[in-house]
Chain A
Amino acid sequence: DVKVTQSSRYLVKRTGEKVFLECVQDMDHENMFWYRQDPGLGLRLIYFSYDVKMKEKGDIPEGYSVSREKKERFSLILESASTNQTSMYLCASSSDGWGKEGTEAFFGQGTRLTVV
């Protein structure tokens, strides 16, 4: 089974801290994604990466950056955490571009981040 693992289930950070959320997948997938999920807003794409060292902005990249130094690992960075970044963060991976039939998305267990 594909496994996408996020390093933390729960995090509490202070305003202004630099925060790292880590995600690792074990299926040699090309593509990795970071979403945030908020009540009433659903899932929104923050960033994605289709190859090592490659990254693309999603719908809401402001206040975030990402790093993909190795194929299996995709990190989300909050440069200076703010209270409006309190959210559930979800990492996902897929084997091919989603313009290809049959490509399936696999998600991690989520990280609940609270910024105080």
Chain B
Amino acid sequence: KQEVTQIPAALSVPEGENLVLNCSFTDSAIYNLQWFRQDPGKGLTSLLLIQSSQREQTSGRLNASLDKSSGRSTLYIAASQPGDSATYLCAAISGAGSYQLTFGKGTKLSVIP
């Protein structure tokens, strides 16, 4: 059964820093890996989707990479801003015909002005 881990659980950085959020998964036979952002009391907003055949995806200041062989994905945020403060979750889809996303428990990011 797929397990997804995100370390650290919380991270605090000063505004302007570049930062990396980590996501690891146990089953390398994944189809997709998706990164989400969640603001307090809100739903999940999709940030980036990486297909298993891809190694990275970029959107604005965000870059997500995928290394299936090592069971890792990273989300890189450039020039962080206070508005980036949120919880970031990664989710893996694995298994033929699987309908289940397996989520990590998230990293709570605080960007200090």
Q: List residues of chain A with CB under 8 Å of any chain B CB.
A: 4, 6, 31, 33, 40-43, 45, 48, 50, 56, 58, 88, 90, 92, 97-110, 112
Q: Which residue of B lies closest to A91 (CB)?
A: B43
Which one of A4, A56, A108 contacts B99 once the chains associate, using CB atoms below 8 Å?
A56
Sorting the interface of chain B by its residue count into under 10, 10 to 19, 20 to 34 or 35 or more gives: 20 to 34
Residues from chain A with a CB closer than 8 A to the CB of B99 are 31, 33, 48, 50, 56, 97-99
Contact of A110 with B41 at beta-carbon distance under 8 Å, contacts A102-B32, A105-B91 already known: yes
| Cα–Cα, bound, A105→B44 (Å) | 10
CA–CA, A69 and B52, complex, Å: 34
Q: Which of B42, B46, B98 contacts A98 (CB 8 A)?
A: B98
Q: 23 A-B Cβ contacts within 8 A?
A: A42-B104, A42-B105, A43-B89, A43-B103, A48-B99, A48-B100, A50-B99, A56-B99, A90-B44, A97-B99, A98-B101, A99-B96, A99-B98, A101-B51, A101-B53, A102-B51, A103-B32, A103-B93, A104-B32, A104-B46, A105-B46, A107-B44, A109-B42
Which residues on B sit within 8 Å (CB–CB) of A90?
A: 43-44
Residue of B nearest to A109 (CB): B43
Nearest CB on A from B72, distance (A): 19
Which of chain A's residues have a CB closer than 8 A to the CB of B97?
A: 97, 99
CB of B76 closer than 8 Å to a CB of A: no
Residues in B whose Cβ lies below 8 Å from that of A107: 36, 43-46
